[in-house]
Each structure stands twice: as C-alpha cells, then as structure tokens.
Chain A
Amino acid sequence: MASESSTIPTSVHPSGKQIDWVRALIYVILIVGALASALPFLYMIMTSFKTYGDIINNNFWPWPPFGDEALQWQNYPDAINNVGFDKAWQVPLVVRYFANSIIVTVLGVVGILLTSIFAAYALAQMNLPGKNIIFILILATLMIPPDLTLVPKVVMMFNFGWYNAYPALIIPFLASVFSIFLLRQFFMQIPKDLFDAALIDGAGHLRYLFTIVLPLSKPAVVTTALLNFIWSWDSFKWPLLVTRDSNMRVVAVGLQQFMASEGGTKVQLLMAFATLVVVPVLVFYFITQKYFKEGVITTGIKG
C-alpha cells in the first residue's frame, strides 16, 4: 500500500523509485472513505455486545485490552425475548418476523422470476402482433411514482380481503418491470438460429426456453433474483401500511416498531436486533457480490 510508504522519512522508496505523494494521498482518502462506509456497521455490532452502562458512559471499547468486560452475548436472547411473543405460532415475535420476511421474500422472488422470465422470453424471442406496444406499456409503468398508487392500492387490499394477510405482501409485487427489462435484454442476445435448430429437433418454445435459453442466461437470472431479494427484504412502507397485527410484521417493520417503543433505553438490544437483520444480508452479499455489480451497471436500478 502506498499509504504505508508515506511514513518512510526519506523521499526515496526502498525499491529506488521516487515516492508518489499524489498516489499516497489517493490511498489515504480511499481508506478514509471505506472506513466511513463500514464504521456504522462495525459500531452496530460492537454496541450489540455492550452493557447499557457502557453506552451511557460512552465507553467505546469496554473489552480487553482497554477494559475488563466480557462480550455481552446475552443481549441477543434478551433482544429476542424483549420484542414479544407470538401466541399464534408459539414462537418469539422476532422469529415470526423473520419467518414472515422469508415467506414474503422467497415467494415474491420466485414469482417475479417466473412472470419476468415468461414475459421477457415472449418479448425477446417470439413473433407476436402488438409486441412493441405491450413493451412500451410495460416500460410506461416506470413513469408511475409509487406514491401515486399508494392510496388506491391500500383500498384494494381491504376490498380483496388481503389486508393484514400474506397475499397483500406478495401478490401486488409479482411483476417487476426492471426484471422483465433486464432479462429481455439478455434473451435478445441469443441468436434466433439456435431456436430454429431446436425446432428441427422437435422442441417447442417452452422446452427451448427451459433447456437452452435459461441455462445460457444464468448470470442475468441470478442477478435478477439477488436484486429482488435485496429489495424485498428491505420493504418497509407497504408492509407497515397493510398489516395491523404484530405477528404479521416483516423484520423491517418489527425493527422500526421496537426502535420507536423501546429503542431509546435499550440501545444494546436494538443494535443486537439490527445486527440480526443486517448480517445475513451482508454474508449473502459478500458471497454473491460480483452479480450485484453487473446488475447495477446493466440496469442502473435505484431501489
């Protein structure tokens, strides 16, 4: 790292090269930026292992070698027990929140993948009358700000009888224009000759889609799944609006409600809860991060 070389008093690097002060400065700035990006997460995890006393006394590092406290692992079970208990399922509410989020996310992502793959295939590879008009209509929904349809959609949930139930959290989101668009772009790159060849072998559209198009499009499908997973896990406003009972909340709503009611005096428990919400996504992200980069660059999506 060039930033280390800047601590060497002479202006000549051991390798004999002149020290590049500009490069050293670049590294310093980048490291400061990276620290700023990561520090809130580190601080969240640190705080989740502190006592409330440490927090009031602004004790930054109460553990050895600077202090003599142990890591407060107890904060995690305490946080889970403090949030409440779900009588319906006989589990702590936090467990129910996670179950709700997983149900909503998994069904939502699988559903979006199915509807988007089918629609994208029809738009990219099939010769249909009115195809272009349909595609323009689909893209036009991007012009609709989510706030515009908020009130009528809530009323619809009441009228469908979906309020405070899973369908309200899943069904309205089963089509994703971004996903259709991303997959269509990818499917269009597959040469038509391939389909003609498959047809001679006796394959129809569906078999061609599942045995040739999808395996070829694995990166695009994985990217679509990952991005939708992240957005679905993050959803907060809609679940807050269309659920009433505490055992129908998703993790984001549960976390916010706990923060609003007890976050001021139980900071360490709030941070433990937040860590539980964040860490699985972080681990997931580190494993799959190259797909995210591709997805962001291809679609320029802002969640």
Chain B
Amino acid sequence: MTSQVTPVPLSATRWRAPSARRWRRVQEIGLGYLLLAPALIVLVVFDFFPIFFGAFISTCDWKPAAAIGAETVLERWLGPCVKFVGFDNYVRAFNDPQMWQSLLVTATYALISIPIQLGLALFFAYLLFQNVRGKEIFRVVFFLPYITSSVASAAVWSFLYNPDKGLINNFLITIGVMNPEKVWKWLGEPTGIFTLMARGTGVTLPEWLGGPSLALLAVIFYTTWVFLGYDMTLFLAGLGNIPGELYDAAKVDGASGWKLFRHITFPLLSPTTFFILIITVIGIFKAFNHIYVMTQGGPGNATTTTSIYIFQQLYQYNRYGYSAALSFILFIVILALTIIQNRVAGSRVVYD
C-alpha cells in the first residue's frame, strides 16, 4: 500500500488537492497492467487461445487455408474446416492401433528411463557428496550433455551407434564381447532385447517375451546421458539441505553406511526425488528432438512415441484435425497420470 504511506508531493496537491491520492493510485494500477500486458498478450494468444482453437480443429476435417483458396479473414479461420465431423477424429484415434502402439512406446520409454535416470543420478550425486576433491569440475563435466544442442548431440550419438563404423560396436568387438560377424544394429534394431540375447544362445523366444526394442533402449541410453548431470545437480542441492546433526545423531545410535542412507538420506531427500520424478515424466512426454534426429520414429514404429506420432500426422500427412485430436488424447493421459502420481508418490514424500 505504498500510495497510502507516502507523502504526496506538494506540487501535486496544489493541482488536484481532493483527488491527488486517488489519481496517483489509478496511475499506479494503469502502469501495473501496462507492464503485465506484453507477457499476458503473448500467453493468451499463443497458449490459451490455441487450446480452444485446437479443440475446434479436432472436430473438423481441416484442409490448409492455402489449399482451399481462402482469402477473407473469416474464410481463413473457419473455412479450412471443410466438414464438421464431431468426435470422428477421436473415434478414429481409439480404433487406430498405431496410436495405442505409440502410447505403449511412450510408457515403455518412461518406465525404463525413470528408474535408470533417477537411480544413476542419485548414485553419482551421493558419490560427489562425499567431500570429493574437484567436485565442481566433475559437476561441470557431467552437465555438458544437458547444455549442448540436442540435435547436434543426437547426431553424434547416431554415429556412435553406427553398426559398422560406430565407436560403441568397435569398442565391444575390441574387448571381445561382440562377434564382428553379428554386430548389433542399435538404433536400427526393432527386435526386443531379450529376443536378441536369447538368439545368442540359440533359444527362440515368443514375441511377447521379446522385451523393449534395442532401438528404444538406445534412445533411453542417450536420454540418460543427457539428463544425468541435470538430475544430479538437483539431487546434490537436495543432499546439501539435509541437516548434518541428523547424521551425527544416527551415528551415535550406531547406524552407519546403508542404514544411514536408507533411514535418513532417502526419506529426507524425497521432496527432491518427487520433484525430479515429475519433471522427468514431463520431459519424457514431450521428448522429440533426439528421437526425430536419431530414428525419425523408426525402425518401423519401434521408437514412435505419441509426441512423434502427433508430429508425423501433422508434418508428413497434413492431417490437422486428426493430429489435434491425438494431442487432446495425450493431454488427458498426462493429466490422469499427474493426478495418480500426486496421489501415490506424493503421499510418500516426507516434508521435514
């Protein structure tokens, strides 16, 4: 309430003595909204409006405005909806095996990456937390993959994964783990990992036991590599917030090593862990750049996540209405998961 406690300058009172204070207040409010306006306009036009416009598009058979020769404003905004189809696009999505497949790939991607990513990040953060010398240097180096252009690093990893010329297979052959006659195709391999391993021993597994495709696993390794340093930095900050006296007290009670970690570090770190879990899930649902660069969703649809599938429907097939409907279905899935996540994991978080 700054305007009430500050003396009004004399010059102002002389001009409009009765309403000077109110006038200043109106000016302040006007300035405040003026300052908020640029950000708000951008958010309303490019975040809120598109939700409603997208809902409209998803109920249409939508042709690009240029394709129908629209000229007036109304023609351009409504004309491309050449036919109102109601919920047809949604019905079509529910009957589309590729949509279900893409959700399955996304779920597999999430269920494998989350434990690996969070587990490794916590492991490395815990190591770095042990008063290691050169801690900052390690942290900076671990953070490198996160900071670099994802398209460039994905291009480099595609080369590392190359079956004949890539560093990974060369290394595995050199140390004698891989048979040079039967190299793994990594990003180009739609077969399940268990099938591949069983093949080495001459066993043929049924398809449902094949496990996640090697291509998807290769994408997951890359994702882990990118986010390890990022998650680790957050875990390190969380570890630093645990009061040292708690450890001292537990040590007096005879706890050590694993017990300290299990009963003090892990529960007290749970807000951090929960937070990292949430942003990791969000990150997985919008994962796009590296998958598109490395595999474009292939081979077949082994790495076609829902995000990739939505993009393909829009970019390659110009199916605006269908793509919009798919994005709403994905949104509902994310919303449901967020609620479940908050109920299940959120209830186990220990705050102080």
Contact = CB atoms under 8 A, between A and B. Distances in A.
Contact of B320 (A38, A118, A147, A155): A155
Contact of A1 (B133, B276, B292): B133
B110 interface: no
Contact of A150 (B28, B31, B170, B310): B310
A278 B143 contact: no
A261 interface: no
Q: Is the interface of B mostly helix, strand, loop or mixed?
A: helix
Contacts of A152: 49-51, 53-54, 57, 324
Given A145-B330, A278-B153, A43 B167 contact: yes
Interface string A126-157: 11110100100110010011111111111110
Contacts of A34: 138, 141-142
Contacts of B39: 115-116, 118-119, 138, 174-175, 180
B254 interface: no
A256 B141 contact: no
Contact of B159 (A126, A177, A270): A270
A297 B233 contact: yes
Q: Is the interface of A mostly helix, strand, loop or mixed?
A: helix
B142 A37 contact: yes
A200 B7 CA distance: 8
A38 B281 CA distance: 26
Interface stretch (A10-18, A62-70, A217-225, A285-293): A285-293
B279 A26 contact: no
B65 A159 contact: yes
Contacts of B324: 151-152
Interface string B118-130: 0000001001101
B1 to A, nearest CB: 6
B158 interface: yes
Contacts of B151: 234, 236, 252-253, 255-256, 277
B53 A237 contact: no
A109 interface: no
Contact of A147 (B53, B141, B307): B307
Contact of A119 (B38, B237, B314): B38
Nearest to B150: A234
B156 interface: yes
Given A174-B38, A255-B151, A278-B153, 17 more contacts: A2-B133, A37-B225, A40-B160, A119-B38, A122-B35, A126-B28, A126-B35, A127-B32, A128-B36, A155-B320, A196-B2, A202-B9, A233-B149, A237-B288, A256-B155, A274-B155, A278-B149
Interface of A: 1-2, 23, 26-27, 29-30, 33-34, 36-38, 40-41, 43-44, 47, 55-56, 58, 60, 114-116, 118-119, 121-123, 126-129, 131, 134, 137-138, 141, 144-156, 158-159, 171-175, 177, 180, 192, 195-196, 199-200, 202, 205-206, 230, 233-234, 236-237, 240-241, 251-253, 255-256, 259-260, 263, 267, 270-271, 274, 277-278, 281-282, 285-286, 289, 292-293, 296-297, 300-303
Interface of B: 1-3, 5-7, 9, 28-29, 31-33, 35-36, 38-40, 42-43, 46-51, 53-54, 57-58, 62, 64-66, 76-77, 80, 124, 127-128, 130, 132-134, 138-153, 155-160, 165, 167, 170, 225, 227-230, 233-234, 237, 275-276, 279-280, 282-283, 285-286, 288-289, 292-293, 296, 306-307, 310-311, 314-315, 320, 323-324, 327-328, 330-331, 334
Q: Which 7 A-B pairs have the closest CB atoms?
A: A175-B42, A149-B50, A152-B50, A119-B39, A118-B35, A152-B53, A152-B54
